[in-house]
Chain A
Amino acid sequence: MYQPELESMPRHELEALQLTRLKELLATVYERVPLYRKKFDSAGFNPMSLTSLADLRNVPFTVKDDMRSAYPFGMFAAPLRDIVRVHSSSGTTGQITVVGYTKGDIDRWADLMARTYVSAGATADDIVQVTYGYGLFTGGLGAHYGSERLGALTVPVSGGNTKRQVQILRDFGVTVLACTPSYAILIGETAKEMGVDPKELPLRVGVFGAEPWSENMRRQIEELLGITAIDIYGLSEVMGPGVAAECVHQHGLHVFEDHFLIEIIDSETLEAVPDGTYGEVVFTTLTKEGIPVIRYRTRDISRIIPEPCVCGRTFRRMERITGRTDDMLIIRGVNVFPSQIEQVLAGVPGVAPHFQVVLTKKGALDNVEVQVEVAADFAFDEVRELERLQRRVKGEIESALAVSVAVRLVEPKSIARSEGKAKRVVDLRDQQGGA
């Protein structure tokens, strides 16, 4: 453990710490963030009235739309002069959400990512290749600061140029790889094409996150690269990577509960569900200064694994993310909402706003086919007009989603509908033994 005194703290001490921090936090956001003051007031919640962690159930939720409407800095709880960095979500729904970090936030984040590496089995003797993108995305810099904090040799490659990734992996004797799981597969396959057997390399641990993946895919990666593949979790609204991470036992992700309160709720009734039951994951940050969030609904679905872990950490574990409460897709690391496609199609004459997204794996990468119904009243009689239409639809979807897609025109009403609504997404990525 990187901070054993905290990571293995007895539960009652941990809960006392959480309560102290939560009380302070609620008072701070009520005073400094108009959105929270308004929310609390209209819900009739007095932040001073909270006397136990169980009282958290009386506190209003925060949702993504709150953060959008506060764009760019409206939810910051610290003055801008104390903010030393911003990141933003990878969302492509038009409005990005911006999160700000104080010096203290950056410092704690580095600790939490250092914990993540240690939890994955890394030490200061490791050489860490950070292949998450550097920039507004939290992945690159988050993984970078944590690796430096640990004292590991940090190689800030960022994403892209897979052959160079392989070269560095081999030439530098890299032992820990931090990237998305799908990119890890691409790196492995590229290495093989280059005549490099990834299993012969010193690489031994992978720290993978930023997109949902499966046990199948873990086995595939471990086999391909000859490593231990560790699942990590985070989201920019809550902090970035370093909110939760698996330990070497690879059975659920320990939530760093001294800094984040986790709740699992029924997204219909909004009531907490018992430990072990699946529901929507909700986080409250306990120590963030720049942009704390109160009961932030992540839309990710998981459950708490209540049993203590043999590793000795007292932090409870959440199971790997099993789905979403909304229809958000993560395609090649980019967040995509089917409604975006619908909006594009509504603006293109000649097609109906009826479509189906079929997701498959082409090698390691997600392959997206969008099937679009031709409008019943579209006047055409030439193949090249259809080809023009197809190209236009493809171009507009790609520029809206920032993901390349294949478009297939299909006959009107040919996309199966249930209760009048078309099934928008057919995700075959799992069935192929991929993600």
Chain B
Amino acid sequence: MIQQLSVFLENSAGHLGELTRALGDASINMHALMVADTEEFGVARIIADEPHRAKEVLSAIGFSATLTPVTAVEVPNRPGGLADVLESLGNAGINIEYAYCFVEPRGECAIDVFKIDNDTAEQVLQDSGYRVLVPEDLYSPDAG
């Protein structure tokens, strides 16, 4: 599965900047960033190289950072692409905690990331003809 870096953020000025600067200074490249927020705080979800090291870098300067296993699939970059994936999961009765998408620079495929608390999800996606991505497809993995 993909290791997503999840970081707690106070909703105040400069915090996301501080986070991304720290990763930059440690020469860790980010591939995707999504922030879910409320009025008071947020969670930054990041796909980055060397996620274990990234977590250590952030923890060391006082961020509350954790690694979350998520599922990523490659989806044709065309209208309805995501809807098809969701339909496959929905038909199998699988609930999605959250999802976000990004497009690889090549632009042929979109990457859909799902947080799913269901062990059969990856199998269902494969059976529906989707390529479930391994870490190497997205980032340079490191050992935890």
User: In the bound complex, do residue A381 and residue B43 qualify as a contact, i.e. CB atoms below 8 Å apart?
Assistant: yes
A51 contacts B by Cβ under 8 Å: no
Our count of residue pairs bridging A and B at CB distance below 8 angstroms stands at 65
User: In the bound complex, do residue A378 and residue B66 qualify as a contact, i.e. CB atoms below 8 Å apart?
Assistant: yes
Contacts A386-B41, A413-B62 given; indicate if A381 touches B68 (C-beta within 8 A): yes
Chain A residues lying within 8 Å of B8, measured Cβ to Cβ, are 374, 378, 380, 386, 409, 411-412
User: In the bound complex, do residue B43 and residue A383 qualify as a contact, i.e. CB atoms below 8 Å apart?
Assistant: yes
Q: Which of B32-40, B71-79, B82-90, B101-109 contacts A (4 or more CB under 8 A)?
A: B32-40
User: In the bound complex, do residue B42 and residue A383 qualify as a contact, i.e. CB atoms below 8 Å apart?
Assistant: yes
* CB-CB nearest in chain A for B69: A381
User: In the bound complex, do residue A383 and residue B36 qualify as a contact, i.e. CB atoms below 8 Å apart?
Assistant: yes
A48 contacts B by Cβ under 8 Å: no
User: In the bound complex, do residue B42 and residue A380 qualify as a contact, i.e. CB atoms below 8 Å apart?
Assistant: no
* CB-CB nearest in chain A for B36: A383
B15 contacts A by Cβ under 8 Å: yes
Provide the bound-state CA to CA distance between A413 and B62, in Å: 6
User: In the bound complex, do residue A381 and residue B66 qualify as a contact, i.e. CB atoms below 8 Å apart?
Assistant: yes
A412 in complex: contacting residue of B36, B38, B40, B62, CB < 8 Å: B62
A419 contacts B by Cβ under 8 Å: no
User: In the bound complex, do residue B64 and residue A381 qualify as a contact, i.e. CB atoms below 8 Å apart?
Assistant: no
* CB-CB nearest in chain B for A350: B64
User: Closest Cβ of chain B: how far from A415's Cβ, in Å?
Assistant: 11
User: In the bound complex, do residue B115 and residue A412 qualify as a contact, i.e. CB atoms below 8 Å apart?
Assistant: no
Contacts A380-B66, A386-B43 given; indicate if A410 touches B10 (C-beta within 8 A): yes
Provide the bound-state CA to CA distance between A408 and B64, in Å: 15
* CB-CB nearest in chain B for A387: B38
Which DSSP category, helix, strand, loop or mixed, fits chain A's interface?
loop
Q: Within residues 348 to 398 of chain A, which ones have a CB less than 8 A from any CB in chain B?
A: 374-383, 386-387
Interface size class of chain B, counting residues whose CB lies under 8 Å from the partner chain: 20 to 34
User: In the bound complex, do residue A412 and residue B64 qualify as a contact, i.e. CB atoms below 8 Å apart?
Assistant: yes
* CB-CB nearest in chain A for B60: A376
Provide the bound-state CA to CA distance between A411 and B63, in Å: 6
User: In the bound complex, do residue B63 and residue A412 qualify as a contact, i.e. CB atoms below 8 Å apart?
Assistant: yes
Interface centre among A375, A381, A383 (most CB of B within 10 A): A381
Contacts A376-B59, A409-B40 given; indicate if A382 touches B64 (C-beta within 8 A): no
Provide the bound-state CA to CA distance between A379 and B6, in Å: 8
A383 in complex: contacting residue of B38, B62, B63, CB < 8 Å: B38
* CB-CB nearest in chain A for B5: A381
User: Closest Cβ of chain B: how far from A407's Cβ, in Å?
Assistant: 10
Q: Within residues 1 to 51 of chain B, which ones have a CB less than 8 A from any CB in chain A?
A: 4, 6, 8-10, 15, 36-38, 40-43, 45
B97 contacts A by Cβ under 8 Å: yes
A432 contacts B by Cβ under 8 Å: no
* CB-CB nearest in chain B for A373: B64
User: In the bound complex, do residue A383 and residue B6 qualify as a contact, i.e. CB atoms below 8 Å apart?
Assistant: no
Provide the bound-state CA to CA distance between A380 and B43, in Å: 9
Contacts A386-B41, A387-B38, A409-B41 given; indicate if A381 touches B6 (C-beta within 8 A): yes
Chain A residues lying within 8 Å of B43, measured Cβ to Cβ, are 380-383, 386
A414 contacts B by Cβ under 8 Å: yes
Contacts A381-B43, A381-B115 given; indicate if A375 touches B64 (C-beta within 8 A): yes
Provide the bound-state CA to CA distance between A411 and B44, in Å: 13
Contacts A376-B64, A381-B4, A383-B36 given; indicate if A411 touches B9 (C-beta within 8 A): yes
User: In the bound complex, do residue B45 and residue A414 qualify as a contact, i.e. CB atoms below 8 Å apart?
Assistant: no
Chain A residues lying within 8 Å of B41, measured Cβ to Cβ, are 383, 386, 408-410
A411 in complex: contacting residue of B6, B36, B38, B64, CB < 8 Å: B64
- Taking Cβ atoms with an 8 Å cutoff, the residues of B that contact A are 4, 6, 8-10, 15, 36-38, 40-43, 45, 59, 62-66, 68, 97-98, 115
21 cross-chain CB contacts under 8 A: A374-B64, A376-B62, A377-B66, A378-B8, A379-B68, A380-B6, A380-B43, A380-B66, A382-B43, A382-B98, A383-B36, A383-B41, A383-B43, A387-B38, A409-B8, A409-B40, A411-B9, A411-B15, A411-B62, A411-B64, A412-B62
Given contacts A380-B66, A387-B38, A414-B62, 19 further A-B contacts (CB under 8 A): A374-B64, A377-B64, A378-B8, A378-B64, A379-B68, A381-B4, A381-B45, A382-B43, A382-B98, A386-B43, A408-B41, A409-B8, A410-B10, A410-B41, A411-B8, A411-B62, A411-B63, A413-B62, A414-B10
Closest 7 CB pairs of A and B: A381-B6, A413-B62, A381-B68, A379-B66, A374-B64, A383-B36, A374-B8
